[in-house]
Structure 1
Amino acid sequence: MFDNTHAHITTWVIGIILFFTALYLHKSGKKKAMKIVHMTLRLFYLLIILTGALLFWKHQGIYPMQYGIKLLGGLWVIAMFEMILVRTNKGKSTGIFWAQLIIALILTIYLGAWLPIGLWSMV
């Protein structure tokens, strides 16, 4: 079932869209809609973790350290999504979290594309 990454990439793309939608709704002053989108995003965190864990357990035997780093990077991205949204909702500074999000996202996408079931292996 998890010989490819379609479900995992789809959940990530939807998660990223929900993240930016929640930020937009917050800036628009639509708190209730932002809360609904944020809760939906939390559901997608679970789906992202589930699909990522299934891929990890199936394929980590090839490059265990790199897959482990990718797993930690993915969890780091999810943590930064949550920290940015919560701190934005509270009106606190989020600059350092944006920097961490960019670093973690670049690392995770690079590893995801480089590893054997990633995009670059399909070329």
Structure 2
Amino acid sequence: MSFNALIHMHGDSWAILVILFLLSVIFKKQKITLWLQRLFYIVMIVSGVAMLAKFGWPGLFIMKGILALILIGLMEMIVVRTKKQKPAAVFWILFIIILIIILLIGYQVIG
């Protein structure tokens, strides 16, 4: 697979993932959005690891990968807490901060 294809697959999977996450939060009783969200976790992780391998495992992008895994955990916690009608404000704040950092690293604003 070409590097350009990996970049597009990874970026597009992130965009779709965030949209599916928001839909999962809004439509709490829908299971299909959550299942699709989890499918895109896999696509995003596989494409990210493939890009890391092609880049030669640079430290900043390894950090981005770790933050991405934390972000996935936050998404899961937000969805579950929202479904159970428990407060999730702290998780939302962390989600927004980490998402912004990931985007800044991904678009090479940071680094």
Shared fold, TM over 0.5: yes
Runs of 4+ in 1 over 6 A off after TM superposition: none
**Uncovered stretches (5+) of structure 1, i.e. residues with no partner:** 116-123
- In the alignment, is the contact (CA less than 8 A) between 1:45 and 1:78 conserved in 2? yes
Which residue of structure 1 aligns with residue 84 of structure 2?
A: 90
Matches within 5 A, 1:51-70: 51-61=47-57, 64-70=58-64
Q: Check 1:59–1:2 CA distance in 2 against 1; reply closer, same or farther (3 A cut).
A: farther
Deviation at 1:101, TM superposition (A): 0.4
- Cα shift at 1:87: 1.0
User: In the alignment, which of 24, 27, 50 is matched to residue 26 of structure 2?
Assistant: 24
| 1:73 and 2:67 aligned | yes
CA distance in 1, matches of 2:45, 2:86: 27
1:35-89 deviations in whole A, cap 9, x for unaligned?
221111111111111111111111144xx21111111111121111111001111
Deviation at 1:91, TM superposition (A): 1.3
Aligned residue-pair number: 108
Distance 2:104 2:79 in 1: 24
TM-score by length of 2: 0.89
Structure with bigger gyration radius: 1
Tell me, what secondary structure is at the counterpart of 1:21?
A: helix
For residues 2-21 of structure 1, what are the structure 2 equivalents within 5 Å?
A: 2-4=2-4, 5-21=7-23
Structure 2: stretches of 5+ with no match in the other structure: none
Correspondent of 1:99 among 83, 93, 106? 93
Structure 1 length-normalised TM: 0.81
Question: What is the CA RMSD across the aligned residues, in angstroms?
Answer: 1.7
**SS state at 2:3 partner:** coil
CA contact (8 A) 1:60 1:67 kept: no
Match of 1:111 among 70, 88, 105: 105
> In structure 2, do the counterparts of structure 1 residues 82 and 55 end up closer, same or farther at CA, with 3 Å as the change threshold?
same
